[in-house]
Amino acid sequence: MARVADRKPYHVDFAELMRVYETNYAKLNALLPTQPSVGDVRCYQAASMSYQIQVGEVTKYTTLVDICQSDDVPIFPLPKMSVRLYHDARVAEVCSSEYLNRVKARYDYPNDKMVQKDEKAQLNRFLGDWLSFCLRHGISRTPLNI
């Protein structure tokens, strides 16, 4: 007789998510201008793919950047995402993605968009992996003012 698997409710691992936010903040700051202003763009070439980070908003305590792949025909497309950097807390989190206007902490599953229960955590881990990739293999198309 087949047994139905027990489904445990998903709980956000806050400590792990904060570690991801903190490391993403440090990585993203390394790729941004020292004193960013609205409209600043940084382009990176990594493994024959082009990526762009554009500053969309700057306030006293936060900076909002849009990240996208700028290739004409992307081989492995990076989802467009908006990331907010909180300078007082020194964290960065994905606020929206190509297919989500606002990323919630957790989702019921199944849902209309078939978003995973831990979509926010997955997007932020993906951002961390992508930032590491750019820092390791990327070449800036604009001079970095350090």
In this predicted model, which residue has the larger pLDDT, 86 or 7? Answer: 86
- The DSSP annotation for 42-81 comes to EEEEETTEEEEEEEEEE-SSEEEEEEEE--SS-SSPPPPE
| Averaged pLDDT, 38-46 | 89
Under the banding of pLDDT at 50, 70 and 90, the label for residue 112 is confident
> Are 37 and 18 a contacting pair, CB within 8 Å?
no
Rounded average pLDDT over 99-107: 71
* pTM of the predicted protein model: 0.81
Cis peptide before 143 (omega within 30 of 0): no
pLDDT higher than threshold 80 for residue 122: yes
**Which pLDDT score, from 0 to 100, does residue 90 have?**
97
Judge whether 81 and 128 are in contact, CB under 8 Å. Answer: no
Distance between CA atoms of residues 73 and 65, nearest Å? 23
Between CA 90 and CA 37 the distance in angstroms is 18
* Mean pLDDT of the 118-134 span: 88
- Mean pLDDT value of segment 112-116: 72
Check residue 21 and give its pLDDT. Answer: 95
Q: What is the pLDDT of residue 121?
A: 87
pLDDT band at 124 (very low <50, low <70, confident <90, very high): very high
Average pLDDT over residues 27-42: 92
